[in-house]
Amino acid sequence: MEIILLGAIIVIALVLFITEFFPIDVTALVVLGLLLIFGLVTPEQSLSGFSNPAVITIGCLFIMSYALQKSHVLEYVIININKIIDQSQTLGMAVYLFCIGIASAVVNNTAIVAIFMPVTIRLADKYNISPSKVLIPLSYAAILGGTLTLVGTSTNLIVNSVLVVSTGESLGMLEFAKFGIIKFVVGLIYIFTIGHKLLPSRVAKSSSITDYSLDGYLTNLKLMKILLCAVELCLIERLMRIMMSLY
């Protein structure tokens, strides 16, 4: 019976994660709550993930990325890249994406994308380039750069954490670089040859909202967020009551 129940929860989790009917964090809490309610995990096991070294490392990387943003190092990089783009857009974007890939290898690639998205949009507006032509390459350059090192992406850290628990051995910082460099170089070449031609030229959302007077419908999104927050709070309260009753 427990196997069937666990299988059903896994299927529900996959459907919710794929469809994104709820935000990812809400889905994760719902799945965790179901596992705890039906007794498939103990309270200690349900909370052990928050103290996992991989989670703590990812949190530290986000702090590092914020410090990098506040240190104005990025502004120096952007100024020099602007000079190159003024001479050649192709060369400038190649250098830009290469820098993003290298930065993703040192800092978590999710944080790098969050930092460089506003900068990339400003570059697209300045040089009259469709945002989709630069934002999609930005994402893929960060993903490819994240495969170069152990801390480049959260997936590598989680795999290393599982390896440490199961075997007691840990992966090296440059363990993934042997094949990561090949993927990084080939990926960038593909982006600037075949991939660039396949990318659609889409307009920004803001212009569509302005042209078609869709401002009134934005209220629905705000209400949805409020409802989701209320559901999340109810789930957290329910979990706390269950944990208190168990203790």
pLDDT band at 223 (very low <50, low <70, confident <90, very high): very low
How high is the pLDDT of residue 146?
Answer: 87
User: What are the structural domain ranges in the chain?
Assistant: 1-51+218-247, 53-202
Residue 169 has pLDDT above 50, yes or no: yes
pLDDT tens-digit map of 91-147: 888 888 888 888 888 887 877 887 788 788 888 888 888 887 888 888 899 999 988
Gap between the Cα atoms of 20 and 228, Å rounded: 12
Determine the average pLDDT of the residues in 179-198.
Answer: 86
Asked if residue 218 has pLDDT above 70, the reply is no
Span 57-84, pLDDT tens digits: 777 777 777 777 677 666 677 777 778 8
Whole-number pLDDT of residue 207: 47
Q: Are 146 and 171 in contact (CB under 8 A)?
A: no
The pLDDT, as a whole number, for residue 108 is 77
Kindly list the distances between the CA atom of residue 230 and the CA atoms of 25, 84, 112, 226, in Å, as whole numbers in the listed order: 14, 49, 31, 6
What phi, psi does 18 have (nearest 5°)? Answer: -70, -45
For the whole prediction, is pTM greater than 0.85?
Answer: no
How many whole angstroms separate alpha carbon 214 and alpha carbon 217?
A: 6
How many angstroms separate the Cα of 37 from the Cα of each of 26, 29, 138, 178? 16, 12, 41, 44
